[in-house]
Structure 1
Amino acid sequence: MTATDGRVWFVTGASRGLGRAIAEAALAAGHRVVAASRTKGTLGDEHPGRLVHIPLDVTSRDAVFDAVERAAAVFGGLDVVVNNAGVMLYGMVEEATEEQIRAHFDVNFFGAVWVAQAVLPHLKGGGRLLQVTSMGSGGGMASVGFYGAGKAALDALSEALAMEVERFGVHVTNLQMGGYATELFTSGTTTTTPDPAYRELRTELEEMWGDDAGPAPETAAPVVLRVAALADPPRRLVVGSASFDMVRELARMRAEEYTRWEDLSRQAPG
């Protein structure tokens, strides 16, 4: 894949944040883009003949399959799919309602599954499926546990999917994104009703995270384009320098804990 070969990209959640940044970068590189999102947003129309917007709510499996068929028909196929649509459920596990939890997973997990199922027939023979997960999908964090759980489920499923479809020439990569200023924590967030019992913990978390929203998503888009261009891309990639350091440190701490309790683990024969 080169910068001018005009591959066809299908990007979900393309109206804002990371999805929009990736769509714009792909267009700037000479590719064609089908941008899917619930609302069109402000993604420009300055690419006549190379950018098409399709309304899509990924929580509807039927709507996803219909949108993918329409997307494939626009430019005669699909080459790169960025499974990016996502939301945030912010709050402690005890606080979340059943409705909030199911709505969250309908977008972040099931919606991504519907997209993957729908696009696979169009990617066989050399296509790329880029699954947007999270650098935090390897473990849980207080107050964003449901977000991490959904991304962890997508991570695991996508690794299985990669094994299943590699024989058909489809490359699947989990993009374990770091923290970017994507509006996820603003317009993309549903918040639980706070339980006063967690007030102290909430304050500690707010102080730990601070006010920095992170770098602009446009800074991550070039990495995504490079992954899509690799002949043999990784199955998982942490996207973000600071996030890479954090993931590596968490992996080290987890390995130390396993080792500390190795004797107890080995008391069971399984």
Structure 2
Amino acid sequence: MDKVKTWYITDASKGIGRMLAKKLLDSGHNVAAVNWSMEDISDTASGKLLPLSVDLNDEDAISESLYRAHTTFGAIDVVLNNAAYAIGGSIEELSSMEIMHSLNVNLLATIRVIQNVLPYLRQQRSGHIINISAISGFSSGAPLPLYTAAKYAVNGISEALAQDVAALGIKVSIVTPGEFNTDMQDETAMPFAAKAIADYKNTRKRQQQQFVFERMRQGDYDKVTEALLKISSHPNPPLYLFLGNDAHSKARNKIRGLSQILEQWKDITHSIDYEIGA
């Protein structure tokens, strides 16, 4: 086994977060698990577990949890920002409160964790921040505007962060899965905006169909966790890691489409440059 590492995982209560935490513990690693479910805890006795109850909207709570993790294990090696939440509805239907709740979980919580863990990683001159995004945050196709917007922002922040911390020995990766059951909600139906506008009934229908489709898919969490373990132990992990054939195909098509647009409109693009001596 590679050297024992300490992971800090947001939302280790279900899905990828929980399965990864159990695999890490079974392999002897340390895990600070945010909102860990205490069921079957005996299955993870071979590793060191620090269960944490953290409101990811509360910066003080995040700061305290990271302090506890660092104090308990002496280091924080890998941070996995995994928490996610999706709400259906058109942009016009969503209330300010619904918008803020979605952004808090999908974007602002990630930023808060990054800001509060960086002092420890800078001091160590090491560490790996892994932010879970989605293919819809790279090639918009999923009909969830807030979730898509948040994941686009996560990508942008991660790219900027990677440049900020590269000289400090800190790595950043954006993991971009395709479509599979992410367990973002335990309910059998997606939550929708409280306000419903008749003109968007087809939008809601399409969103619900997509939600049901993803819940029916048997995403191979075991393979996802193996992929995360591989990049966490790599000396030069990728900035972007696309997971799944659909994610690869959509990303490739997006890049190809952008390249075509750049070439098609390059004359206008270059026409605004300042001409020396003009």
Fold match by TM threshold 0.5 = yes
Asked whether 1:200 is paired with 2:202, we answer yes
Pick from 40, 44, 47: which aligns with 2:41?
44
What does the per-residue CA deviation read over 1:205-229, in whole Å, with 9 as the maximum and x for residues that have no partner? 6667773533132331100000100
- Change in Cα spacing, 1:210 to 1:11, as seen in structure 2 (3 Å) is closer
* Residue equivalent to 2:165: 165
Paired residue secondary structure (1:129)? strand
What does the per-residue CA deviation read over 1:130-157, in whole Å, with 9 as the maximum and x for residues that have no partner? 1111122124346311111111111111
Structure 2 unaligned segments of length 5 or more: list them.
Answer: none
The percentage of counterpart residues that share the same residue type is 25
**Matches of 1:252 and 1:185 in 2, distance apart?**
34
Deviates more, 1:7-16 or 1:171-180: 171-180
Paired residue secondary structure (2:138)? coil
Paired residue secondary structure (2:61)? helix
What does the per-residue CA deviation read over 1:173-207, in whole Å, with 9 as the maximum and x for residues that have no partner? 11112223222255495421432212234445666
Paired residue secondary structure (1:35)? strand
* Residue equivalent to 1:7: 5
Pick from 222, 243, 246: which aligns with 1:242?
246
Contact 1:36 1:55 (C-alpha < 8 Å) held by counterparts = yes
Pick from 226, 230, 239: which aligns with 1:226?
230
Pick from 106, 109, 121: which aligns with 1:108?
106
Contact 2:190 2:211 (C-alpha < 8 Å) held by counterparts = no
* Residue equivalent to 1:75: 73
Q: How does 1:135-146 map to 2 (within 5 A)?
A: 135-141=135-141, 143-146=143-146
Contact 1:11 1:36 (C-alpha < 8 Å) held by counterparts = yes
Contact 1:4 1:30 (C-alpha < 8 Å) held by counterparts = no
What is the root-mean-square deviation in Å for CA atoms of aligned residues? 2.4
Residue 80 (structure 1) shift: 0.9
**Matches of 2:42 and 2:131 in 1, distance apart?**
26
* Residue equivalent to 1:84: 82
Structure 1 unaligned segments of length 5 or more: list them.
Answer: none
Whichever residue aligns with residue 200 of structure 2, its letter is Y
Max Rg structure:
2
Residue 84 (structure 1) shift: 1.1
**Matches of 2:40 and 2:54 in 1, distance apart?**
15
* Residue equivalent to 1:183: 183
Contact 1:220 1:240 (C-alpha < 8 Å) held by counterparts = no
Q: TM-score, normalised by structure 2?
A: 0.86
- Change in Cα spacing, 1:208 to 1:107, as seen in structure 2 (3 Å) is closer
Paired residue secondary structure (1:191)? coil
Deviates more, 1:204-213 or 1:165-174: 204-213
**Matches of 1:189 and 1:110 in 2, distance apart?**
22
Whichever residue aligns with residue 191 of structure 1, its letter is F
Residue 63 (structure 1) shift: 0.7
**Matches of 1:96 and 1:41 in 2, distance apart?**
35
Paired residue secondary structure (1:93)? coil
Whichever residue aligns with residue 88 of structure 1, its letter is A
Contact 1:4 1:31 (C-alpha < 8 Å) held by counterparts = no
* Residue equivalent to 1:59: 57
Paired residue secondary structure (1:89)? coil
Q: TM-score, normalised by structure 1?
A: 0.89
Paired residue secondary structure (2:44)? coil
What does the per-residue CA deviation read over 1:100-128, in whole Å, with 9 as the maximum and x for residues that have no partner? 00111111111111101111122232211
**Matches of 1:212 and 1:86 in 2, distance apart?**
15
- Change in Cα spacing, 1:142 to 1:183, as seen in structure 2 (3 Å) is closer
**Matches of 1:108 and 1:204 in 2, distance apart?**
22
Deviates more, 1:106-115 or 1:176-185: 176-185
Deviates more, 1:238-247 or 1:91-100: 238-247
